[in-house]
Structure 1
Amino acid sequence: MTISLGISAINWVNEDILSLGDHYTAEQVLSDMSQLGFAGTEFCRKFPRDAASLKALLSQYNMVMSSQWNSVHFSDPARKDDELEKYKQRVDFLAEMGCKHVVTCESGNTFEDLTQNKVSIEELSEEQWASLIDGLHQAGQYCKDKGMKLIYHYHGETVIEKPEQIDRLMSSTNPELVHLLYDTGHAYYGGYDPLELLNRYYDRIAYIHLKDIRQAQLTELIQSGLRFRTGVQNGVFTVPGDGCIDFAPIIQQLLDRGYEGWIIIEAEQDPGIADPVIYARQALTYLKAIGLTTA
């Protein structure tokens, strides 16, 4: 079995909370990752945005780029065509980088109130569901034509977060065009048992994020109505083995089923509090102890 083990740059540099890790340079992040023994990472806001420069930088550290986050608003029929054109441009960039997977997440119907630091999420209407599915199918076909896979990332504080929403997305989409990004942390965050999700949709999974949850912080977030970003700052996420998720049966299932492909370690934390190198080493020790082997 061949597993490529990577780590997300978000462990060092947060993409949404710009104050977290902003002091890191691309060179420092990649140097740390390379010395830790990781094979690749996802795009980071500190990286060059043209393929030639980014390839040259990655090669200095014997690293590759596995994918890039892509927010879309396919659920809005008025925006879908424009969103598809923008999406195709990002797919072309990833293809030039040699990536085989396109991380994709619907960001519609999420409304931010900065004055109260709150977010409201409206359930998708039937029309919006239809628009989303059509957009994903068109985007997925474009990826497939390029020899790539659209991998859908269910995510906290979005319209595809809860078990019933993930289930509907899976039952409504063509498995040849829409694959699943299996994220242990966001599964638990949204109320889906990660092992149950793995077993139910293993055949749809084409890419993996492993991260853990601190139960006390998640409970506080839910009870207090805190928003996702606040949860991140309060330490709701951590590396595998440092939270409440039991990864042993998850890793065993992946080994038994012969999973091949990327596994990306994530821990969306404040790097000033949780040193990313220390936590990455901790995760590697834990995952090796429960049987994860890589290429």
Structure 2
Amino acid sequence: MALSAPPPPSSRPSSPSPRIRIGSAPDSWGVWFPDDPRQVDWRRFLDEVAQAGYEWIELGPYGYLPSDPARLAEETASRGLRVSAGTVFTGLHHGPGVWEETWEHVAGIAGLTRATGAEHLVVIPAFWRDDKTGRVLEESTLTAGQWHDLTSLTERLGREVRERFGLKIVVHPHADTHIDNAEHVARFLDATDPSAVSLCLDTGHYAYCGGDSVELIETYGERIGYLHLKQVDPRVLADVVTEELPFGPAVARGVMCEPPAGVPDLEPVLAAAARLGVDLFAIVEQDMYPCPPDRPLPIARRTRHFLRGCGV
């Protein structure tokens, strides 16, 4: 039987071009906790994030938005919003003894995340000092054994979440955690399986800890699975470093600032991400806890306008 010739290139169906999809998160409205009197009501957050021109949101701290899937779907759809990811906090460096408790916590959030149609679960390592009070909770550096527990159990988490919920975990380097600066991020990535674990690059946290986001994207591009967009005010950061301030008080002082006033420059970061040739979410997260309730919306609108000027 003769084989027919392939169609000319012009007649072949073209695959969609890779996209960077922009969204925002409760964090940009000063929301850090499921319930806090200094935070805006979740209805106001949903109303305003839509008004600011965003289509995608994250769930934020579990319990802030409705945890009933049907109610959440109704509230987001009525505002033209879709969910890109949920977020979990884990302390897997504590070893196998915390696995069952961790999984119980993760499974509830992963189930809600999957029900929204999202495909990502942002995993933030445990803080070594409290992000609200600054109280030191444990040593700021890990032993070799703790590194092994952290990497091996994170791989297990990635596989379990994918098999049971169909989600991809993206681990978020974060100030005041054990995965923070360039050295620790590289150590973590080099010790984990790319098929199980990807990275959520938060440009603000990485700059806060002295990292170069463009260099990280160019070095570990195949591991970048998700982006958080934010900037750091270098003048405030210099004082934070000098005074050894915890992250919470640093945020209250304004260390995370409105683009384009800080670092890193987001246009080269987005250009480097676009060169990876893959679909990526880029979620705006300007830490502002606590903040006046009328402050977030104007900033969100200006930030969306700025990012359009960056081509996304």
Report how far residue 118 of structure 1 moved: 4.2
Report how far residue 235 of structure 1 moved: 0.5
Give me the whole-angstrom Cα distance separating, in 2, the residues matched to 1:43 and 1:113.
19
Give me the whole-angstrom Cα distance separating, in 2, the residues matched to 1:60 and 1:266.
23
1:42–1:21 distance in 2 versus 1, CA, 3 Å: farther
Q: Is the 8 A contact 1:195 1:249 kept in 2?
A: yes
Name the aligned partner's letter for residue 209 of structure 2: G
Q: Is the 8 A contact 2:124 2:173 kept in 1?
A: yes
Name the aligned partner's letter for residue 222 of structure 1: V
Q: 49, 55, 58: which one pairs with 1:33?
A: 49
Match of 1:176 in 2: 195
Match of 1:58 in 2: 76
1:163 paired with 2:182, answer yes
1:215 paired with 2:234, answer yes
Compute the RMSD of aligned alpha carbons. 2.3
Match of 1:6 in 2: 23
Give me the whole-angstrom Cα distance separating, in 1, the residues matched to 2:131 and 2:162.
38
Give me the whole-angstrom Cα distance separating, in 2, the residues matched to 1:142 and 1:35.
37
Report how far residue 240 of structure 1 moved: 2.9
- When the two structures are superposed, what TM-score results if normalisation uses the length of structure 1? 0.90
Give me the whole-angstrom Cα distance separating, in 2, the residues matched to 1:172 and 1:92.
28
Q: 292, 296, 300: which one pairs with 1:276?
A: 296
Name the aligned partner's letter for residue 19 of structure 2: T
Tell which structure's C-alpha radius of gyration is larger.
2
Provide the identity percentage. 24
Ranges of 4+ aligned residues in structure 1 off by more than 4 Å: 16-21, 111-114
Match of 2:254 in 1: 235
Q: How does 1:29-108 map to 2 (within 5 A)?
A: 29-44=45-60, 45-77=63-95, 78-107=97-126
Name the aligned partner's letter for residue 256 of structure 2: F
Q: Is the 8 A contact 2:34 2:64 kept in 1?
A: no
Q: Secondary structure at the match of 2:47?
A: helix
Report how far residue 139 of structure 1 moved: 0.9
Match of 1:266 in 2: 285
Name the aligned partner's letter for residue 262 of structure 2: G
What 5-or-longer segments of structure 1 have no aligned partner? none
Moved more, 238-247 or 214-223: 238-247
1:244 paired with 2:270, answer no
Q: Is the 8 A contact 2:228 2:283 kept in 1?
A: yes
Name the aligned partner's letter for residue 272 of structure 1: P
